[in-house]
Amino acid sequence: MAENMWGRVRERLEQSVGANNYRNWIAPLEFADLENGVARFIVPTNFMGNWVQRNFGDTILKQLMSDGAQVSRLEFVVPKAQASGRVAPPPANGNGRPAAPASAAPTVGNGGELPGAPLDKRFTFDNFVVGKPNELAHAAARRVAEGGPVTFNPLFLYGGVGLGKTHLMHAIAHEMTTRKPELRVLYLSAEQFMYRFVQALRDKQMMDFKHMFRSVDVLMVDDVQFIAGKDSTQEEFFHTFNALVDQNKQIIISADRAPGDIKDLEERIKSRLQCGLVVDLHPTDYELRLGVLQSKVAQNASAFPDMKIAPGVLEFLAHRITTNVRVLEGALMRLFAFGSLVGKEITLESAQDCLADVLKQSDRKVTVEEIQRKVAEHYGIRLSDMIGPKRLRSIARPRQVAMKLSKDLTTRSYPDIGKRFGGRDHSTVMHGVKKIEELIGSDHQLAEDFDLLKRALEH
């Protein structure tokens, strides 16, 4: 009965907190019970519980009461760590999209016997547009794909969402198997790796599992940050990794951040991952975005033969949609669909109309002031202390967090940020940013706070 109530209340919360907040913070709450005026919820992490309490606690309480519940307080509980060998259901991945179900892992690969993920035919080197932000990653991928002597092992590609990591990995796999069809190339996501591992444990097929993974010529594991914090999976990954390196087999790994920055990843794995070549895909620049758009238009020319795009439209999109290539592609496809429906040339105006929501989202820029306010609020310090001279750690640390966030989330330069922090020198800002980068790797609580703030500021 109480659960029905939560169902109803949840619906109303969606209205009052907005879809984004709802998806990130309310939907993951699991209602446990309501006793003696305390409503208890199960949350995946402490930080999430704290955040919900602080930002939505009152709203939730109010809604519960208006539904007739006898409630005066909320409590958030984190379940005890799962016994090893048992695995929680896959959480949503970092960008808020639910992770693909691990069981949907059809087998392709060579001879159909390797349990890899299917390769996307469109993700080839030919279709990959090279620009300054990705030229190094591209060159490294090309080199590995040539399949000469293994020189850097592993190749570690990292970068933000939608910048082409998966594309490059598939391209390597395509290229290698075209050159040498007999090669056993296994591509899979870290999540699938875990799923296979757990399945093998459960079915008592560990020998087969180990044998299979150790018999490939090339192993590619995508989004390796996924196994952070999953101890037994990490352990197995480490052994697989070492066994393959010992045999001089090529390994290619991707992640959303540098090895050293992945929280809850064992030190020995981090250092192993750093042993090869680590290259990052930088955020796109205007030229790259325009290049991608032009190449997509050319690729789609046969599917939309009558499509006409007025001069300046692509330039406009490249200028305005700066998030990532995936969003850019989505916008272009929408224009194509629209253009083929109305059967007219796509002009700057019609593009703006058709993409109003995407453009609005891209417009949303966080300011340094907003960052300062949010961080001050989070740490319970005064906004004036952000820009004031105090050097107490309890104030200096949040200030440095705010500096790092300003560097990450705005386009401001170090001197510019310094100016906004009470006229501090650019070297002070640089030092602060570096300090936080170090601490994120070693201080769990700080890393959690940082993630939380970043997420909250990003929408």
Instruction: Please report, as ranges, the residues that interact with Mg ion according to CB under 5 A.
Output: 165-166
Toward ligand ADP, which CB reaches closer, 162 or 339? Answer: 162
What does the alpha-carbon distance between residue 280 and residue 424 come to, in Å, rounded to a whole number? 30
The reply to whether 161 sits near ligand ADP by the rule CB under 6 A is yes
Quick one: which of 13, 105, 144, 163 contacts ligand ADP (CB under 6 A)? 163
What does the alpha-carbon distance between residue 395 and residue 372 come to, in Å, rounded to a whole number? 12
To which residue do tokens 């202390």 refer? 385
The reply to whether 166 sits near ligand ADP by the rule CB under 6 A is yes
What does the alpha-carbon distance between residue 185 and residue 171 come to, in Å, rounded to a whole number? 12
Quick one: which of 9, 314, 325, 401 contacts ligand ADP (CB under 6 A)? 325
Quick one: which of 30, 231, 261, 329 contacts ligand ADP (CB under 6 A)? 329
Quick one: which of 292, 355, 429, 433 contacts ligand ADP (CB under 6 A)? 292
Residues pairing with 41 in the sheet:
31, 76
The reply to whether 134 sits near ligand ADP by the rule CB under 6 A is yes
Binding partner at 325 among Mg ion, ligand ADP, none, C-beta below 5 to 8 Å by kind: ligand ADP
Which token pair is 29? 């709450």
Q: Which residues of 428-459 are buried (b: 16+ CB within 10 A; e: fewer)?
A: bbbebbebbbebbbeeeebbbbbebbbbebee
Toward ligand ADP, which CB reaches closer, 75 or 287? Answer: 287
* Helix residue spans in 251-367 (DSSP H): 267-273, 286-300, 313-320, 325-342, 348-354, 356-363
The site string for ligand ADP over 113-132 (x = CB under 6 A, - otherwise) reads ----------x---xxx---
The reply to whether 164 sits near ligand ADP by the rule CB under 6 A is yes
Cα dihedral: 14, 15, 21, 22 (round 10): 10
Minimal distance in Å, beta carbon 189 to ligand ADP? Answer: 10
Which window, 160-168, 198-206, 259-267, 376-384, contacts ligand ADP (CB under 6 A)? 160-168
Toward ligand ADP, which CB reaches closer, 29 or 169? Answer: 169
Query: What are the backbone angles phi and psi of residue 48, rounded to the nearest 5°?
Result: -65, -45
Which token pair is 293? 């758009």
- Which residues contact ligand ADP by CB under 6 A? 123, 127-129, 134, 159, 161-167, 292, 325-326, 329
